[in-house]
């Protein structure tokens, strides 16, 4: 198993000083930056595009984990690869040709992930797992920060962890939505190794203290 990663979602950051927020969470111990892209079409909200990634990119060598909540996906894959994404994940429902979209990501030297919504069946992994660097399990319906963790995600994580282990490949299992200090231990026990947290981290006064508290819960 790869070492755990805490990936603050900048969706809950103060966008008026985004660069400073990114610097602050990385200095506070986060390993990745989770970058939520919403298009008011696939999800009912609108966030940030590749120009913002391009501006952030020179600030850090830390991996930037782009979560595309857009439809269609292929043009945005190209734009975010050009802007310097390290990982790009998309929702299979948003691509007409999932295999083609995965190939597009990997052809650009970017790590590829598929995102499973709360009601997405595991069968989307049947013919894709061997092309994935990451599986992202949504524990909320995508579109907004600050929603409550849907408990059914735990069983889903356990089942996907078994699939990944059986594959023998290094595939990260990431969880997104409602991750807090008081549930992260159970989420880790279910098999996740990569933890997105937006409101829990950016809503805390002390980023170092909240990231340390989360890390302590998953280190056991």
Instruction: Please choose which of ligand DX5, Zn ion, none residue 53 contacts, taking the beta carbon within 5 to 8 angstroms, the exact cut-off set by kind.
Output: none
Token pair for 74: 């292929």
* Residues in the chain, total: 220
| 199 annotated as ligand-binding | yes
Instruction: Please choose which of ligand DX5, Zn ion, none residue 120 contacts, taking the beta carbon within 5 to 8 angstroms, the exact cut-off set by kind.
Output: none
Say whether residue 146 binds ligand DX5 (CB under 6 A): yes
Beta sheet of 134-138, edge-to-edge order? 5-8, 194-197, 172-176, 134-138, 111-116, 87-90, 64-69, 33-38
Say whether residue 200 binds ligand DX5 (CB under 6 A): yes
Say whether residue 178 binds ligand DX5 (CB under 6 A): yes
Q: Are 174 and 133 in contact (CB under 8 A)?
A: no
Alpha carbon separation from 210 to 32, 149, 185 (Å, rounded) = 15, 18, 14
CA distance 116 to 139: 9
Say whether residue 36 binds Zn ion (CB under 5 A): yes
Backbone angles phi, psi at 66, to 5 degrees: -90, 120
Which candidate in 39, 86, 133, 176 is catalytic?
Answer: 176
Of 42, 17, 24, 171, the C-alpha closest to 8 is 24
Known catalytic membership, residue 86 = no
Say whether residue 193 binds Zn ion (CB under 5 A): no
Stretch that binds Zn ion, among 43-51, 81-89, 169-177, 207-215 (CB under 5 A): 169-177
Binding mask 62-91 for Zn ion (x = CB under 5 A): -----x------------------------
Spell out where the chain has E strands. Answer: 5-8, 33-38, 64-69, 87-90, 111-116, 134-138, 172-176, 194-197
Known catalytic membership, residue 36 = yes
| 205 annotated as ligand-binding | no
Say whether residue 67 binds ligand DX5 (CB under 6 A): yes
Q: Are 207 and 20 in contact (CB under 8 A)?
A: no
Which candidate in 36, 65, 86, 133 is catalytic?
Answer: 36
Known binding-site residues equal 9, 34, 36, 67, 143-146, 176-178, 198-199
| Residues near ligand DX5, by CB under 6 A | 9, 11-12, 34, 36, 67, 140, 142-143, 145-147, 176-179, 196-200
Give the catalytic positions in this structure. Answer: 36, 176
Known binding-site residues for a divalent metal cation equal 34, 36, 67, 176
Known binding-site residues for substrate equal 9, 67, 143-146, 176-178, 198-199
């Amino acid at each position: 198993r790869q070492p755990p990663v805490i990936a603050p979602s900048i969706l809950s950051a103060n966008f008026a000083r985004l660069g400073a927020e990114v610097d602050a969470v990385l200095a506070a111990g986060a390993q990745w930056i989770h970058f939520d892209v919403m298009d008011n079409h696939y999800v009912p909200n609108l966030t940030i595009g590749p120009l913002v990634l391009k501006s952030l990119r020179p600030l850090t060598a830390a991996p930037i984990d782009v979560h595309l909540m857009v439809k269609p996906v292929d043009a945005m894959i190209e734009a975010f690869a050009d802007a310097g994404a390290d990982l790009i994940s998309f929702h299979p429902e948003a691509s007409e040709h999932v295999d083609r979209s995965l190939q597009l990501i990997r052809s650009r030297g970017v790590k590829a992930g598929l995102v499973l919504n709360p009601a997405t069946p595991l069968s989307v992994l049947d013919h894709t797992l061997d092309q994935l660097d990451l599986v992202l399990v949504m524990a909320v319906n995508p579109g907004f920060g600050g929603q409550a963790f849907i408990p059914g995600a735990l069983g889903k994580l356990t089942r996907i962890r078994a699939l990944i282990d059986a594959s023998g490949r290094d595939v990260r299992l990431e969880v997104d939505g409602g991750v807090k200090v008081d549930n992260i231990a159970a989420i880790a026990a279910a098999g996740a190794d990569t933890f997105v947290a937006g409101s829990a981290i950016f809503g805390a006064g002390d980023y170092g203290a909240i990231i340390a508290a989360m890390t302590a819960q998953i280190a056991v």
